[in-house]
Amino acid sequence: MDNGASEEQLPGPSGAGPTTESSLQKDDRPPSGRSNDTDTDASDVGEMENEHKEILQLTREHIVQRLDAGHVLDHLLSEKVISDRDVNEIMDHENNVKQRASQLLAILPERGTRAFKAFRDSLLLCKAADYKDLVWSRLDRVVVGETGNPQNDDKIQVVIRVRPLRGKEEEQGQGCLTVDARCMQVTIPVKGNGVKQFVFSKVFPEESTQAEIFNTMASPIVDAVLEGYNGCILCYGKTGSGKTYTMTGPPDEDLNEKTEGIIYRALKQLFLKSQKKQDWNIAFFVSVLEIYNEKVFDLTEIAKECPALDVRIDPSNISMFVAENLEKHDVTDAEGAMKVFFDASKKRRSRATQANDHSSRSHMVFQVVVSLLHKSGAESGRTGELYLVDLAGSETAGEVNKDAEGLREGANINLSLLYLKDVIRDLSVKNRQDFKFRRSTMTKLLKRVLTGNSKTAFIVNVDPSKKSLSDTKRSLEFASDAKKVHVKPKINYSSLDSLIVKYLKDIIDMKRQIATMKTVLKKSTCTCSKNIGKPGPTRNTSNVTTDAQVGTAAELEKETFDVDKVRELVNFGVTNTAQDFQAKLGGMLEEGCREIKDEISTHMEGFQQTVQEKSDLEVQQATEAITATDKCVTLTFGVTAMIDF
């Protein structure tokens, strides 16, 4: 397969063909001054760090589209990052603006360890053009292995992954694609000896690794889910184009740390990063479903023949859909989550076809729900949902087993993908409202992550062989529509968590008041008993309450709301219906209020008995305490009225 300009080739002057790296000799390193070509200082010898090289590569398209190289060369010269000879080559009059910028980015990685920082500073210091937003929105957000490719939150991120040619395809050189990874461009032939070009956020050639795919596209979304965002990573493409390999990895015998796909890497990152959030209690729930012949099945069900699940309107959001009774498994570590997925994936329907020995016959959705509750209750709870979607591939009748079941499977797969394309096409057109989500089970379930509130990435896998040219063209056209779809992700603050914490705190606060009043009563009773029948100055009892409050403060200060109970309630809410949760929360509040009411009633009787024995001053004090108790009772029963479902 012809990949266009290789990694060693650099854009050259117009009409002069590519300039190879051999023309940039090592003795072309920056001079110690602008007037000669001597070598740089020893401290600057050595290549740019791999992390910074990767950042430049990932942001290359965005920089080339905007940068006028002439604006930054003075600073790079003064910092001895480039030489006069470099400037002459870059600013050759035959080079256009984009070629100059591209050639500068090609030179920088070989210009020493300081080159990246000097380039970044040159953008910030540039007076001829304002590149501050380019720096802050691109170079500063990219952390290789952490957040990968810079993510534009306002659109679906779309990248292309080209699978390698196989067997006879490679021997005969039957490639139909030309890939320019630097310009993020894919070129395919069309009728009349012409070509059609497609440009995307990123193009991964056939030699790309699983780690590159994950670090660039999936890692930032996984991090966002831990902050309470929704996220979706979807693999799309023709059957046999490598979707399942990208999402899960190869078959069991070849699965290892280098070959494992997005799902396994995402689970590792989720649990690893969660350990750094020390101020939060975090719970994880996973579920796995497949859509086979337009019916939804829970792949985690133990029964061999489990019934299909109904897809219904979500009670908590009537514009969305959910698979009813889909099991959500509470997991505490990556190994447990991987086991749930691994066991479930074995039950996914597949069969051998002419295109693939293990062709998926169903769409699979792996979902992770992350529930976050702040330990002190100082911040609202959050809930993030991650959807990892491996679609079955489009196919023709000749590529599947020619039995009735195989034809039926293929027809349902193609029809659901057609409806997905229709939805994406509608979403890509501004102000278009006739979305067709209800026409397909898959589009119903994915509506949540396609219509706005999600950081979403599509990895479109393409088959480079000539026999797949028409399918590849359709995949690229789908990708072109998808990258136009706007989204507006936002953090899903869980008012549920904060309400539970608030109510439990209110109950505890009322219990503290009762404890304080008990102490007041006890000390007041003792004082009254000593003074009954004894004339003399009335004792100042104002300090009695203060001492009691101080006495109980140290003891009660250690008391806090029951985090385990809150977590139990939140987890119950995630795994059960809203009605069941409402009943459970109502029961908990009823029980708490009943305990407080019984305690208050008992001590009010004690107050009434004490009143008969007190002097006038003590009577007044006890009456005030009773009034405060009445207010406490009113507040107690006001808690239940605050619940708004």
pLDDT value at position 54? Answer: 74
What is the DSSP code string of 68-130? Answer: -GGGTHHHHHHTTSS-HHHHHHHT-TTS-HHHHHHHHHHHGGGS-TTHHHHHHHHHHH-SSS-
pLDDT tens, residue by residue, 428-443 = 887 666 678 888 999 9
Pairing mode of beta strands 231-237, 381-390? parallel
Q: Give the other-Cβ count within 10 Å of 512's Cβ.
A: 17
Scanning the structure block, which residue is given the tokens 């698979």?
323
Using alpha carbons, list the distances in angstroms from residue 97 to 14, 17, 66, 312, 594: 11, 16, 9, 54, 76
Please say whether the beta carbons of 366 and 337 come within 8 A: no
pLDDT tens, residue by residue, 147-178 = 334 445 578 999 999 988 877 766 555 678 88
pLDDT value at position 330? Answer: 92
Which residues face 237 on adjacent strands? 461
pLDDT value at position 1? Answer: 39
Q: Which amino acid makes up residue 416?
A: S
- Measured CA to CA, the distance from residue 299 to residue 325 in angstroms comes to 12
Query: Cα angle at 449 between 448 and 450, to 5 degrees?
Result: 100
Q: Which residues of 520-539 are buried (b: 16+ CB within 10 A; e: fewer)?
A: bbebbbebbeebeeeeeeee
- Which H or E run includes 512? helix 495-531
Scanning the structure block, which residue is given the tokens 């010898």?
45
Domain at 157-491, CATH from 3.40.50.300, 3.90.800.10, 3.40.920.10, 3.40.850.10: 3.40.850.10
- Among the listed residues 321, 300, 320, 325, the one whose alpha carbon sits nearest the alpha carbon of residue 312: 321
Pairing mode of beta strands 455-462, 231-237? parallel
pLDDT value at position 621? Answer: 63
- Measured CA to CA, the distance from residue 480 to residue 470 in angstroms comes to 15
Tokens standing for residue 167: 């067997």
- Measured CA to CA, the distance from residue 389 to residue 391 in angstroms comes to 6
Tokens standing for residue 299: 């792949």
- Measured CA to CA, the distance from residue 452 to residue 435 in angstroms comes to 13
- Which H or E run includes 374? strand 363-374
Tokens standing for residue 582: 């409402």
Which residues face 445 on adjacent strands? none
- Which H or E run includes 384? strand 381-390
Radius of gyration of the chain (CA): 33
Query: Residue ranges of the chain with pLDDT lower than 70?
Result: 1-46, 127, 132-153, 169-174, 304, 354-357, 377, 397-402, 431-434, 495-511, 513, 517-518, 520-571, 573-579, 581-582, 585-586, 588-589, 592-593, 595-597, 599-645
Q: Which amino acid makes up residue 505?
A: K
pLDDT value at position 644? Answer: 38
Domain at 9-139, CATH from 3.90.226.10, 1.10.533.10, 3.40.50.460, 2.102.10.10: 1.10.533.10
pLDDT value at position 551? Answer: 44
Phi then psi for residue 500, to 5 deg, are -60, -45
Which residues face 231 on adjacent strands? 386, 455
Sign of CA dihedral 68, 72, 74, 79: negative
Pairing mode of beta strands 194-199, 185-190? antiparallel
pLDDT value at position 573? Answer: 67
End-to-end distance of the chain based on CA atoms, in angstroms? 59
User: What beta strand segments (E) does 149-301 contain?
Assistant: 157-162, 178-180, 185-190, 194-199, 202-204, 231-237, 280-292, 295-298
- Measured CA to CA, the distance from residue 472 to residue 53 in angstroms comes to 31
For 292-349, give the secondary structure using H, E and C: ECCEEEECCCCCCCCCCECEEEECCEEEEEEECCCCCEEECCHHHHHHHHHHHHCCCC
